[in-house]
Amino acid sequence: MKDWLARMGSKLISALDGMGSISIFTAKSFYLSLVKVPSARVVIPLMYEIGVRSVPVILGTGSFIGMVLAVQMFTQMHKLGVDAWVGPVINVAMVKEIGPVLAAVILAGRVGGAMAAELGTMRVTEQIDALRSMGTDPIQYLVVPRLYACFLLIPILTIISDFIGAVCGYLVSTKAFGVSSFYYIQETKEYLEYWDIAVGIIKSFFFGAFIAIICCYKGFNARGGAEGVGRATTSAFVATFVTILVSNFFLAVLLRFINYHILKV
């Protein structure tokens, strides 16, 4: 019993230590990002890597998600005799939930893992320590540009995902299943609100920050050579993926509260 309590106490202390460490890392990263904006020559290559090179993946996944939604929604709506409601259901689901989460998860896997591996390699090869010895703050030099790039570009990728998903959903619904394009568009205009689009974009800003902070933190704290870098990369993706899903729920609740009780839209 004593051994079990000792192990549980050790795990609790370790968890609290980790929470404190990432909290300090996050606070310092945001503080430095506000104090000094990184130069364009540092941020633009990261934006190209994070944003431009992710567009083909976003287009592919977004289009198939839109088509799958069209197939599933038409099947259910046709049973109820409300085929015209396919449009609002597809588009609201796409812009509020699926678009931002999809873009964030893809970026967490494609970009987040790469950031964790790159910074983890720099940690185990003592390049980060070398930066400190030269009087350069590693967080300012390595983390802040990546935070800017993720924070600014994920909303754009979310909009692209929403757009291509909506277009492909429309094409499958109207061309393959014969849903009236007039009623599809008309019902979408009636039920899809600007706030629905804003909800997805607001979520994407948070997701971008989570990806940058968690993946950079895992890379900064990699230990144990190549094996440690591998563990840090895997841990970064898993932690980011779970954080995106959990935070999506709480953001949805918070934004719903703001909509109905503060904005009263």
Q: What burial letters (b/e) apply to 84-98, b meaning 16+ CB within 10 Å?
A: bbbbbbbbbbbbbbb
Residue-level pLDDT at 205? 93
Contact yes or no for 125/11 (Cβ under 8 A): no
Return the ∠ at Cα 204 (arms to 202 and 210), rounded to 5°: 115
Task: Pick the closest to residue 53 from 149, 166, 164 (CA basis).
Answer: 149
**Would you say 187 and 77 are in contact if contact means Cβ atoms under 8 Å apart?**
no
pTM above 0.85, yes or no: yes
Tokens of 230: 């591998």
Q: Residue 141: CB partners within 8 Å, gap ≥ 6?
A: 131
Per-residue pLDDT of the chain (265 residues; tens, 9 = 90+): 666 656 666 666 766 767 878 888 888 888 888 888 888 888 888 888 888 888 999 999 999 999 999 998 888 888 877 777 888 888 998 998 888 998 899 888 888 888 888 888 888 888 888 888 888 888 888 889 999 999 888 999 999 999 999 999 999 988 888 888 888 888 888 888 888 899 999 999 999 999 999 999 988 888 877 788 888 888 888 999 999 999 999 999 999 888 887 776 5
Helices H / strands E in the chain, number of each: 12, 0
Distance CA 141, CA 133 (A): 13
